[in-house]
Amino acid sequence: MNILSIIEKKALGKELSYEELEYAFNGFYKEDIEDYQMSSLLMAIVINGMTLEETINLTDIFIKSGKVYDLSSIGEVIVDKHSTGGIGDTTTLVVGPIVASCGVKMAKISGKGLGITGGTIDKLESIPKFNVYLTKRQFLENLKTVGFVDSSQTLDLVPLDKKVYNLRNNSGTTSSIPLIVSSIMSKKIASGADIILIDIKVGNGALVKTKKDANLMSEWMKEIGKRYNKKVVTIISDMNKPLSNCIGNRLEVEEAMRVLKGEKCELFVTSLEIASILISLAKNITKEEATKEVIEAIDSKKAYKKFLEFVRAQNGEISKMKIKANVKYIRSEEDGILVGINAKKIGELALKLGAGKTNDREKIDYSAGIKLLKNVGDKINKNDILATLYTNKTIKLSNDDISCFEIE
């Protein structure tokens, strides 16, 4: 077996065996296979896809690169959620504290930003001193005591996905159904939860572009769940416009805190839906009963207090988190009605401001981002401020940046 014949086989659209996938991916992990060879194989997978069998096998190879956490010592049903990636999607930081404050434990392994989409690990790392690299002992301890824990992959947990994920981000190979499925499902299986909800985002600002792909992804994720004896539920939600009005790491943490304190925006609606499904499944109650618990947790500030406890338990110092950036504005050039906010263009603009990165030499600026000041449907006057931009870079706004906002 050799890597060139494996790349060529996939370039011809043929199915790779377990042994071939193992040879290529484990070889890359051990650094026997070069980054450029793996990038080439990943691109062949993006173009020609993989079968369900190949995707199941790759998931298994990812899982076996690290440990699998056994959470049975906790003695309770454990839940988890994951988004396939979007713009302004901060649901994890809202859902985790809600669910935990309602007495359901959530154990989560998150990732960094991928392409233009944000990553929960970057958002957590934007909180001064927040520790995303927990040992297994700390992970279990926080799950037991706080009820919500969120960690990055360490050398323990799916380290192979971490390495491949980084290369995908730097090689334009993010948007592939089998690669997304195996990346997410390996983390979900290895971190040990019993009930896993996957929020499949579809639209121009998501990694998944069509409803057809989202349905296929949902089917495959459920099938993988069955093979590992996990209950997998999926929801499919729109990502043609950003989920929240804040895009960028610290801005999104602040937005999550406002929702936990009771602000009723679209981020709240999606978080309510996800939290209600997870609680109803974990407690075996109806979704309506679970929704009542969620509302009570927010109204009583139980969920907000749980967020603060979660941050403290992972050493974060939320009171020290400050947005330090220069401010610029996007103003409307015409009168009319705001009919759309293009998620893809907003994601690209956030990247340009420094909120994400496209290669390993760049550093994320946690203060960078965008605050949207108008909602779809709002009446707009010429010169109205549509968005505030936060950046420490010297940037020149192009027509493309301004065309994030569709005004008719």
Based on the shown chain and the rule CB under 6 A, indicate whether residue 55 belongs to the binding site for ligand URA.
Answer: no
Residue from 85, 86, 113, 205 in contact with ligand URA (CB under 6 A): 85
CB of 174 to ligand URA, least distance (A): 7
Q: Which two tokens mark 391? A: 């950046």
CB of 117 to ligand URA, least distance (A): 7
Side by side, the strands of the sheet bearing 369-372 are 246-247, 369-372, 385-391, 326-331
Q: Where are the alpha helices (DSSP H) in 261-382?
A: 266-283, 287-299, 302-313, 343-353
Pick between residue 179 and residue 202 the one whose CB is nearest to ligand URA.
179
Could you list the beta-strand ranges (E) of 42-104: 78-83
Q: Please choose, out of 136-144, 178-186, 221-229, 285-293, the segment that lies near ligand URA by the rule CB under 6 A.
A: 178-186
Q: Where are the alpha helices (DSSP H) in 152-248?
A: 159-171, 177-190, 211-227
* Tokens 């990732």, located at residue: 111
- Residues involved in catalysis: 82, 161, 168, 183, 187
* Entry field: residues in the chain: 408
Greatest alpha-carbon pair distance for the chain in Å reads 65
Residues 180-209 that bind ligand URA (CB under 6 A): 180, 183-184, 187, 207
Q: Please choose, out of 38-46, 176-184, 266-274, 386-394, the segment that lies near ligand URA by the rule CB under 6 A.
A: 176-184
Look at strands 405-407 and 336-341 and give their pairing: antiparallel
Pick between residue 190 and residue 275 the one whose CB is nearest to ligand URA.
190
CB of 153 to ligand URA, least distance (A): 9
Total chain residues near ligand URA (CB under 6 A): 10
Residue from 84, 152, 153, 237 in contact with ligand URA (CB under 6 A): 84
Pick between residue 89 and residue 293 the one whose CB is nearest to ligand URA.
89
Q: Shortest CA distance to 99 belongs to which of 70, 117, 79?
A: 79
Pick between residue 180 and residue 279 the one whose CB is nearest to ligand URA.
180
Contact 39, 173 (CB under 8 A): yes
Total Cβ atoms within 10 A of residue 359: 8
Look at strands 78-83 and 105-109 and give their pairing: parallel
Residue from 61, 63, 99, 114 in contact with ligand URA (CB under 6 A): 114
Contact 381, 310 (CB under 8 A): no
Site string for ligand URA, 93-112 (x = CB under 6 A): ------------------x-
Residue of minimal Cβ distance to ligand URA: 183
Contact 42, 69 (CB under 8 A): no
CB of 369 to ligand URA, least distance (A): 20
CB of 221 to ligand URA, least distance (A): 12
Distance CA 306, CA 312 (A): 10
Distance CA 118, CA 81 (A): 16
CB of 163 to ligand URA, least distance (A): 13
Residues 198-257 that bind ligand URA (CB under 6 A): 207
Residue type for position 379 = K
Q: Please choose, out of 141-149, 177-185, 373-381, 384-392, the segment that lies near ligand URA by the rule CB under 6 A.
A: 177-185
Pick between residue 42 and residue 303 the one whose CB is nearest to ligand URA.
42
Q: Shortest CA distance to 30 belongs to which of 159, 175, 126?
A: 159
CB of 165 to ligand URA, least distance (A): 6
Helix (H) or strand (E) run with residue 238 in it: strand 231-238
Chain contacts with ligand URA (rule: CB under 6 A): 84-85, 111, 114, 179-180, 183-184, 187, 207
